[in-house]
Chains A and B, each alone.
Chain A
Amino acid sequence: MTISLLSLPDAEIQCRLLADQIRPTLTTNTTLVGVYSGGAWIAERLTRLLGLPGPAGLIDVSYYRDDFAQKGLHPQVRPTRISFDVNNRCLILIDDVLYTGRTTRAALNELFDYGRPAAVKLAVLADRGGRQLPIAPDYCVWRLDLPPETGLTLSLDNGHLSWKVEHA
């Protein structure tokens, strides 16, 4: 599949669409957890758009990745910040791109080291296919099928979220 730069959707608008999907399912027990970096930016926007109290949780999965033996430690690990009691909470895990599913697996493992949530759902802006694990999003605004040599990343420039596509 070929994607031209011109056809890339506006990620800020996608955040609002994602908020619209999540809103009807919110309960007073729901808390967002963003996966660094992209998921953290989105979680921050969703917290505001959905009028949720308190900051979202932030999770860095570096210590739970399954490719540590091949790639070593990420050069910039950020501290996971889960300042609430995870036990019996309904969590929505937020990420920018869902690809192999390995990051989601790592994030789930880390979350369960904080406690036993009542439920965990997955919200992503983009599902690019290529899953290697039995993981699927509960909320998603952009579904596409990209070959492995194409990279899709979310970036934050001057406070604005935008997509970048790179061909290896």
Chain B
Amino acid sequence: MPNPQLNANGELIHLLSTEGLPREILTHILDTAATFVGITDREVKKVPLLRGKSVFNLFFENSTRTRTTFEIAAKRLSADVLNLDITRSSTSKGETLLDTIDNLCSMHADMFVVRHATSGAPYLIAEHLKRMGKHDIHVVNAGDGRHAHPTQGLLDTYTIRHFKRDFSSLTVAIIGDILHSRVARSNIHALKTLGVPELRAIGPQTLLPTRLSQMGIRVFHDMRAGLKDCDVIIMLRLQNERMNGALLPSVGEYFKHYGLSPEKLILAKPDAIVMHPGPINRGVEIDSEVADGSRSVILNQVTFGIAVRMAVMSILAGNG
């Protein structure tokens, strides 16, 4: 089955997942993002690349940070950005997802940035656009269910490359609720494609998918053992709703075993970086001393996220 993210020439036309994207495309996105990082130092903090284009932010699930960074990225590319408040719009009156898309296409949308609680919703939209012959409208997945959050995966890989330069000798640990994490999935696919030799998953058995070791990922239930000699530590947010599903005994117990404290951080390499997709739960998965410490690159991730989203949108817009 052809990759729905690519056109017949193998060019990226939608960003739906990091899974199945060739290394060259991932590298092109990261290289392009690097050229956007310095734009904020200029007198005019935007380039005219998407002038006259309309980007629609369709957030069917709340996320202030991701929506805002997509909005900033589109505006720095000179696009017109429309944020649809879906919870108050026609969807809540019963309109189907694809009817909403058709209506927005009639308003001459050029790109949809979609966040949806259901896995596969952005795929559905991309397939629908293809069926309708609307090949010049692009879809960016801003997080769908448990499935994927590709721009977060890309900004994480960008951050790693920025601080570590080369993927080929790294040990990267992803820690926490990997089972429910679309961020973890997007990171795993991107980092494997980019050649990270050792990927580790650390967490309680109830929060780790069963097939990780078949994907070549080393699984640890003991965080101290898993952190040994790591170059990169990616902490995941513990979603409060997991506490109700009998997956964990208590927040205090979780922090004791899987929270990143200064004592545990010592076990990683001395120059290891600490990442987190945000929003962070201080005292749940990460200690404030670590989150605010010199090894934390959490705020760098946010800054790089804008450049990575600019890169994705400009590459998509250029590929008809």
Contacts and interface: CB of A to CB of B under 8 A. Distances in A.
A27 interface: no
Interface string B297-320: 000000000000000001101111
B38 A63 contact: no
Interface string B34-52: 1101100011101111000
B267 to A, nearest CB: 37
B65 interface: no
- Taking chain A's interface residues, is the majority helix, strand, or loop, or is none over half, making it mixed? loop
B218 interface: no
B253 interface: no
B42 A72 contact: no
B315 A79 contact: no
A114 B43 contact: yes
Contacts of A64: 47-48
Contacts of A86: 43
B127 interface: no
A77 B31 CA distance: 8
B32 interface: yes
> Which of B31, B38, B48 has the largest number of chain A CB atoms within 10 A?
B48
Interface string B44-72: 10111100000000000000000000000
A106 B32 CA distance: 18
A113 B47 contact: yes
A45 to B, nearest CB: 24
Interface residues on chain A, size class: 20 to 34
Contacts of B42: 82, 113-114
Nearest to B320: A72
B10 to A, nearest CB: 12
Interface in A112-131: 112-115
11 contacts: A60-B35, A72-B319, A73-B315, A73-B318, A77-B31, A78-B35, A80-B38, A86-B43, A109-B48, A112-B44, A113-B47
Interface residues of B, number: 21
Given A80-B35, A113-B47, A114-B43, A75 B28 contact: yes
Contacts of A71: 318
Contact of A113 (B11, B44, B315): B44
A63 B51 CA distance: 11
Which of A63, A71, A75 has the most B CB atoms < 10 Å from its CB? A63
Contacts of B49: 63, 68, 73
B268 to A, nearest CB: 31
A25 interface: no
Nearest to A72: B318
B38 A73 contact: no
A63 B79 CA distance: 13
Nearest to B24: A75
